[in-house]
Amino acid sequence: MTKALIEGEIIIAIDFDGTITTNPDISESELILRPECKRVLNRMFDTGVKLILWTCRTGEHLTKAKAFLFGEGLYGVFTSINDHIPQVYTKYSDASRKVGADLYLDDKNFGCDVNTMWTELEKYIYGEE
């Protein structure tokens, strides 16, 4: 990984639709977690990785996403939602609207099969085979 945005921290911004869930469309009513997502999110949280829920959802759609995460026991793993972690504001008083992170995870850009995305991310973060 490149130089950290905040020294001593790993910050990952994670998309919701199609990344945390198998549904790539916010209009879908049934949300299903991606394989290994919950386990890997909990591991990252437990090891101090700062997680940002980074989604285009707003209003009612964002409320549904939050309710889904709460129901799955994952709401508390996120340090912030569509915003910087507090340490970024401390370091950069003029932080931009773009969420600052060391890695941005989105089903459209991770560079591997979306069905193995979470285990590939885990290998990348922890250097495991």
CATH value at residue 15:
3.40.50.1000
The domain of 50 spans 11-24+31-126
What is the rounded distance in angstroms from the CA atom of residue 35 to the CA atom of residue 33?
6
pLDDT tens by residue, 37-61: 999 999 999 999 999 999 999 999 9
Domain count, the chain: 1
Chain centre to alpha carbon of residue 35 = 15
Inside any domain, residue 65: yes
Q: Which of 14-28, 87-101, 115-129 has the lowest mean pLDDT?
A: 87-101
